[in-house]
Structure 1
Amino acid sequence: MNQWDMNQWDMNQALGLNQNKNVFFNAQWPAPASVHTLFTTRQGGVSQPPFSSLNVGAHVGDNADAVQHNRALVQQQVAKPLAYLNQVHSADVINAVSALTALQSGTPANADASFCHRGESAACAIMTADCLPVLLCDRAGTVVAAAHAGWRGLANRVLQNTVEAMQVNPLEILAYLGPAIGPEAFEVGAEVWEVFCLKQPKAQTAFTDIGNEHYLADIYALARLALADAGVHQVYGGTECTVLQRERYFSYRRDGKTGRMLSAIWLE
Structure 2
Amino acid sequence: MPDTGSRGSAGAARVPREVVDAALRVARRLGKDVADVPTREIALEAGISRSTLLRRLGGPREALDEAVRAAGVDPGGQPPVRDRAITACAHLIGEHGLAGLTLEAVAARADCSVHSVYAAFGGRNDLLEAVFERYSPILDVEQILDGPPRGLPETVRLIYRRLAQALDREPRVLPAMLAEAFARPAAPASQALVRHFVPRVLAVLGRWLADEVAAGRIRPMPVTLLLQQLVGPMLMHFLTRPALGGVRQVDLPDPEEACEEFAAAFVRAVALPAPGGDRD
Report the TM-score, using the length of structure 2 for normalisation.
Answer: 0.25
Greater RCO (Cα-Cα under 8 Å, separation 6 or more):
1
More strand by share: 1
More helix by share: 2
Report the TM-score, using the length of structure 1 for normalisation.
Answer: 0.26
Q: Could you say which structure has the larger radius of gyration?
A: 2
